[in-house]
Structure 1
């Protein structure tokens, strides 16, 4: 069994907007589009989304702070100028991309690896990026329904190369009870939130770690409910993706941002 974070720099198999044609063919009910590989995001559809040079995604929490997964940063909290953040584009090859270096990181206190929970981190930027930020969920109110996932990761489980273009897909919430049928005690209900189709076919994959999972709030604005973290394979039947449950850590994230 393969498992691991969804960062392209990790040694385990991770995940991103991906689909397995065989799983779809055997699916008992249709999976709403987009499916295999997701569909391209519009040029200004998700302006808060950023790409990180270590092969992860992230979202602008503040104009000079990025929220991502803890396993994406290669060091504990402190000064860090090794990360380049790419923003303002959906195609990473675009010459109009905004590129900003990091100055520091804060990784969740007590982080011991993506499968141990607390999988979040903040990256301080050398200068603000004049793009919209993404609000985060502070309660479990929005931790249900259907979510949008996005990323530049690989489009199948053993894909050799990540996508240059930002892709998007939609996945439904999966209850802790259902998710535990596959993951057992590896799932940490207070730290994790699961999403995906029972028949598989749509998921995040390698290179998507740290990217946001989000939905609309009651006012029609995007709100981040999850951070792409880990899972068994990519888009497998009965193996939902596991995301950091943002509402659990909202206060800690806000406090950490104040220290940057």
Structure 2
């Protein structure tokens, strides 16, 4: 993870997918690494793992996921089904869930045998509704699952510092594969997030002009207009990042958890969904996360 890097690159009608971090030509997912994050050996994060697909006998990272039951992981819908109308990756590829500090040396692994996605399929950053999926493993893992938050973050939680975790790209050299984590500030749970982060439009333009290039703002005026006016999908999306010391999800972090610390440990509030992609490998604009409380319980057949 970088200080600013993780999910899909898309905005309204403009959607740009990023190739998987292992250099595959076929893009199953989006972005996904934590820029600015630190490698974490916290045993409580062992439930956070990498989704890999086998290519010529070797595992290729494409997303991040979190164990929420002995044989169930939650991730992003676009990790399970890359695009609207496409087949599930479980049906087209040999997919595994690997845990461990580095996915190349897994401590636990199991094949993914099935997936289900959230029923809400319209609206939102990617135009696919609630970007949440639950995958079933072929065998239970002897790993302590992470609890699902009882409810989605609300307005009273804005400003709270949460924990982002992922295996994605962490720098412009596309370094990836280690489980990285770091702080991410919740900025909005509804409305237009950029108008919550920046007091006025020129401030947002200056942000991108400084971190991308002097030509970026003028060249990408139409996309920046869409970003400024984008409104979160009510009840299904939240926005995090751009706070002091915040990390940034990037390529390979898609589906990775946004965790809240509680007296009992961690609980998962949302999964990395999408971000505004500029000219750099990773975003510099924070991240859209898909809330998991309601859709995950529905997919697991549990009552709230």
**TM score, norm. by length of structure 1:** 0.76
CA deviations 1:83-142 (Å, max 9, x no partner) are 21112x111222x53221112110111436862231011111110001011111122467
SS in 1 for 2:242: coil
C-alpha spacing 1:160/1:246, structure 2 compared with 1 (3 Å): same
Match of 1:60 among 64, 67, 72: 67
C-alpha spacing 1:59/1:13, structure 2 compared with 1 (3 Å): closer
Match of 1:246 among 292, 295, 300: 292
The Cα of 1:246 is off from its aligned counterpart by 2.0
The structure that has the greater radius of gyration is 2
C-alpha separation between the residues in 2 aligned to 1:172 and 1:84?
Answer: 31
**Cα pair 1:162 1:207 within 8 Å, conserved:** no
**Cα pair 2:254 2:273 within 8 Å, conserved:** yes
Q: Which stretches in structure 2 are left out of the alignment for 5+ residues? A: 1-8, 21-25, 54-61, 196-226
State the match for 1:152 in structure 2: 167
C-alpha spacing 1:60/1:77, structure 2 compared with 1 (3 Å): same
RMSD over aligned CA atoms reads 3.0
Please say if 1:125 is aligned against 2:137: yes
State the match for 1:193 in structure 2: 238
**TM score, norm. by length of structure 2:** 0.66
The Cα of 1:210 is off from its aligned counterpart by 0.6
Match of 1:166 among 179, 200, 215: 179
C-alpha separation between the residues in 1 aligned to 2:194 and 2:32?
Answer: 19
C-alpha spacing 1:42/1:7, structure 2 compared with 1 (3 Å): farther
